[in-house]
Amino acid sequence: MNLIYVEDNPLDADLTRRMLAQQAPQMQLRLAGTLGQARALLDDDARPCDVLLIDMNLPDGNGIELVAQVRHSRPDITVLLLTGCGDEEAAVRALRSGADDYIVKDTRYLDTLTQTIAAARQRRLERPDHAPAQVLHVLYAERTASDVDLLRRHLRQQAPHILLDVVGSGAEVLAALEHGSPDGLGPVDALLIDYLLPGMNALELIHEIREVRGLDLPIVVITGQGDEEAAAQAIRLGAHDYLVKRDLAMPRLHIALESACLRVQLERERRALAESERRLRELADAIDDVVWLSDPVAGRLLYISPAIERIWGLPAADLLNDWHAWTAYIHPEDRERALREIRAGAIDGDNYDTRFRVIKPSGEVRYVHLRSFAVQDERSRTVRRAGIAQDVTEQHLQELRIQHMAYHDALTGLPNRSLVLDRLEQGLRMAHHRGRMLAVIFIDLDRFKNINDTLGHLVGDELLCQVALRLRQRLPPEVTLARLGGDEFLVLIEDLTEAAQVAQTAEELVREFEPSFLIDGHDLHVSASLGVSLYPRDGNDEHLLLKYADTALYRAKASGRSTYCFFSPEMDRQAHARLRLENDLRHAIDRSELCLHYQPQFDARGRLVGVEALLRWPHPQRGMISPAEFIPIAEESGLIHPLGDWVLGEACRQVRQWQRQGHPEMRVAVNLSVRQLQRRGLDQTVRSELRRSGLEAAYLELEITESSMMEDPAGTMTLLHALRGIGVQLSVDDFGTGYSSLAYLKRFPLQRLKIDRSFVDGIPDDGDDIAIVEAIVAMARKMNLRIVAEGVETGAQHEMLTRLGCDEMQGYLLGRPMAAADMDALLARCRTHRAEADLSLGA
């Protein structure tokens, strides 16, 4: 903290310096012996002053003069005045000039000086903006130098807080008001004008200031000779006081200036308040909300804005006459509650906040948000009550729309998952309380994806809307129908006494899908599968009931679709086993537990021409798991994609290795599932695996079942042409068991048909099977397709199939599926037999 001590007594200065060094070493003290030296130290920006100690009487003036100057230019400095003799009038003048404290140099003042300085400093820092209210900047227009000197000396002694800026004419006054005071003291607070000025007198100057320039500065006129007519005219023109230069006038001059400033300040505040009230009234009149002010003591309304007419439909004048008239228009269902809340707030003298509906005289209903605020006096008594009433009708309707959107399906308008779960939770509590049953029915449309894929999502969305409408019309109003998402719906039936009621409802819902749906010119036949769970039989919480209904739905779909199925514990066990198997399958892929077996394929002459790659899973705990068990799980869970990619890559790699070992014509057949066909970029995956393994595309055959081709015939055709463009061979697996269109079949770029083993089993004894095989072979010959027979297990079958014209065969008679190592041994034997045959031909 930097401190400047202005003291002309060396002894006092030394005592103070030594005391501060001992008690407050953090204070950096600098000494000045005169006002001039003090001003020089204050101008030193390198060491800004924090605290100024000033002796009252100094060789070049009075310390109060420096207080007023410092307080005007440096309001942040803490100023303390010291004097050797206590003088009440001097103390008052010091404090009025802006000093923070006044200290008398008695015998013990040094003991408390540091505490006094600290307290004064704290007070100064806590003052807003450190701004003093006492300093007045007065512009004095006077042509007589002796009068100016006399007034300066008087103000220095009696009112040091008044700073004079002197000019000699009216023109200089106007220039100072326009461009700033010549002494640079800042804005002028008041004018002190001598009556007789060069160029224009005081009356002419006042007229210019008031009428022409419109300034409201405090003006005091001073004259050497009293003139009642001149005084009256000056006051009429806008002067605040008129003084005569007599000895009696000088003591009250500073009081007149301060009084004029105070009157102008009060007038400015009054005008500002009136302007603020005018603007507030204009604002209140312009806004859509009702703004009001009341006197709760007198029980009357002081003001209410015109918006009351728009919201209540009442003229404001009616409420000014009867403040309580507005309560009669509150909706009857809301009135008692709203008035109770309003009375409670009014009695407690507190704010209140309430919402209610208003019925206008026209019958229109508006939603209103009313808030009231208590205005209290200094004794915490409520003297006024202000309030605002907002028309929140649109906001309320928007909230209802948002709430509806949050709890209802955007497409069908039915309750969504969040709402139906909430109703299910409440329904379970009610069923438990009443001892009744509750049913959850899952509904899923069969093959809905085909409609979306073939006819587009707009048709699919319209179908969902018609399904929702048809089901809603079938079900009673008290039954909840919700859309969970996609093509899944949920029905919640409460207050049941027996399961037969649910079975009847489920049968009716299944039958609702028998009539077709006419959408955009398409006559659509859609069926649905239903799964049912019951409380309390199957579970007592919403999550279990939903899970079990979903499990039952899966069983219904597996049972042939277009039916319903009740949940049973056996289903739950199967579902858990299925889930465990899916998790194990995920780990099996990551841990490389899967492997490929290869079943050899021979031509009619007995030559090994290729293999079919078959996926096998030797489970670490369960042993070998059938593909028929885990492949459907892989397709439903999406694991078929990483699984299929691995099979494709591994088969290509292995066959290429056998080719390098002396079997250059070896071909491999890999099965593709329907999910793989639907996956984008399959052709790029095949191209990538061929490139990685080095296998030529001609030695890779991709097998596709009849039914999978017909899931999306157009998309399948595009994909098969892309694959054929790579050079791979394509075959139809299990031919004869599906419902393929011959029109599509002839357009697919195929090379082989594989006759399903179900037709091979009856050969040679079943004439129908022989006829079917003959027909397939004849058709294939016409279409330039090769025929492969599966499931050949006897010599008689082999002989008959050869005679019927089959090109290639595979089955247990020719070779079971085997690991790659066992296939190595078979290939070695084939290579030996071929070499022996070549030798015999050479001999």
Helices assigned H by DSSP within 728-766? 742-745, 757-760
Confidence of residue 667 (pLDDT cuts 50, 70, 90): very high
- Per-residue DSSP letters for 398-454? HHHHHHHHHHB-TTT--B-HHHHHHHHHHHHHHHHHHT-EEEEEEEEETTHHHHHHH
Confidence of residue 837 (pLDDT cuts 50, 70, 90): low
CATH superfamily, with its number, for domain 136-271: Response regulator (3.40.50.2300)
Q: How many angstroms from the chain centroid is the CA of residue 201?
A: 72
Three-state DSSP class for residue 666: coil
For domain 287-393, give the fold: Beta-Lactamase (3.30.450)
pLDDT at 42 over 50: yes
Residue 333: HSE in the Cβ half-sphere, 13 Å Cα cutoff: 4
Look at residues 70, 104, 69, 100 and name the one whose alpha carbon lies nearest to residue 85: 104
pLDDT at 132 over 50: no
User: What percent of the chain has pLDDT above 90?
Assistant: 37
Question: Where exactly does CATH 3.40.50.2300 map onto the chain?
Answer: 2-130, 136-271
Count Cβ atoms within 10 A of the Cβ of residue 305 and give its class: 0-12 exposed, 13-18 middle, 19 or more buried.
buried
Question: Where exactly does CATH 3.30.70.270 map onto the chain?
Answer: 408-567
Q: Answer for the pair 382, 442: CB distance below 8 angstroms, yes or no.
A: no
Which of residues 722 and 453 earns the better pLDDT score?
A: 722
Look at residues 733, 717, 737, 721 and name the one whose alpha carbon lies nearest to residue 788: 733
Q: What average pLDDT score do residues 252-261 get?
A: 82
pLDDT at 107 over 80: no
Please report the pLDDT score of residue 601 as a whole number.
94
- In angstroms, the CA 740 to CA 754 distance is 14
Helices assigned H by DSSP within 113-252? 113-126, 145-158, 170-179, 202-207, 228-237
pLDDT at 522 over 70: yes
- Span 350-389, pLDDT tens digits: 788 899 999 999 999 999 999 988 888 777 788 888 889 9
- Span 754-783, pLDDT tens digits: 988 888 988 888 888 899 899 989 988 888
Look at residues 588, 685, 688 and name the one whose alpha carbon lies nearest to residue 637: 588
Confidence of residue 133 (pLDDT cuts 50, 70, 90): very low
Task: Give the architecture (CATH level 2) of 2-130.
Answer: 3-Layer(aba) Sandwich (3.40)
Q: Categorise residue 562: left if φ over 0, alpha if ψ from -120 to 50, beta otherwise.
A: left
- Span 631-645, pLDDT tens digits: 888 888 888 999 999
Q: Which of 156-160, 251-255, 280-284, 313-317 has maximum average pLDDT?
A: 313-317
Two tokens, residue 485: 């998402």
Enter the CATH code of domain 408-567.
3.30.70.270
User: Given the DSSP bridges, would you call strands 488-496 and 808-809 parallel, antiparallel or unpaired?
Assistant: unpaired
Please report the pLDDT score of residue 182 as a whole number.
65
Q: Is the peptide bond before 600 cis (omega within 30 degrees of 0)?
A: no
- Span 389-420, pLDDT tens digits: 999 999 888 988 888 888 999 999 999 999 99
Q: Answer for the pair 448, 466: CB distance below 8 angstroms, yes or no.
A: no
264-278, 401-415, 533-547, 775-789: range with lowest mean pLDDT: 264-278
Question: Where exactly does CATH 3.30.450.20 map onto the chain?
Answer: 287-393
pLDDT at 493 over 90: yes
Confidence of residue 841 (pLDDT cuts 50, 70, 90): very low
Give phi and psi for 61, each to the nearest 5. 150, -170
Q: What average pLDDT score do residues 271-282 get?
A: 81
Please report the pLDDT score of residue 130 as a whole number.
45
Q: Which of 241-255, 513-527, 556-570, 735-749 has maximum average pLDDT?
A: 513-527
Q: What average pLDDT score do residues 238-263 get?
A: 78
- In angstroms, the CA 219 to CA 197 distance is 15
Q: What average pLDDT score do residues 608-624 get?
A: 92
Q: Which of 294-308, 417-431, 736-750 has maximum average pLDDT?
A: 417-431
Look at residues 543, 534, 548, 540 and name the one whose alpha carbon lies nearest to residue 429: 540
- In angstroms, the CA 234 to CA 239 distance is 5
- Span 705-721, pLDDT tens digits: 877 887 778 888 899 99
pLDDT at 735 over 50: yes
Confidence of residue 86 (pLDDT cuts 50, 70, 90): low
Average pLDDT of the chain, as a whole number: 86
pLDDT at 744 over 50: yes
Please report the pLDDT score of residue 134 as a whole number.
61
Q: Answer for the pair 462, 469: CB distance below 8 angstroms, yes or no.
A: no
Look at residues 102, 106, 68, 62 and name the one whose alpha carbon lies nearest to residue 82: 102
- Span 553-575, pLDDT tens digits: 988 988 888 889 998 877 657 76
pLDDT at 658 over 70: yes
Q: What average pLDDT score do residues 324-328 get?
A: 87
pLDDT at 16 over 80: yes
Q: Which of 273-277, 426-430, 575-579, 836-840 has maximum average pLDDT?
A: 426-430
pLDDT at 128 over 70: no
pLDDT at 251 over 90: no
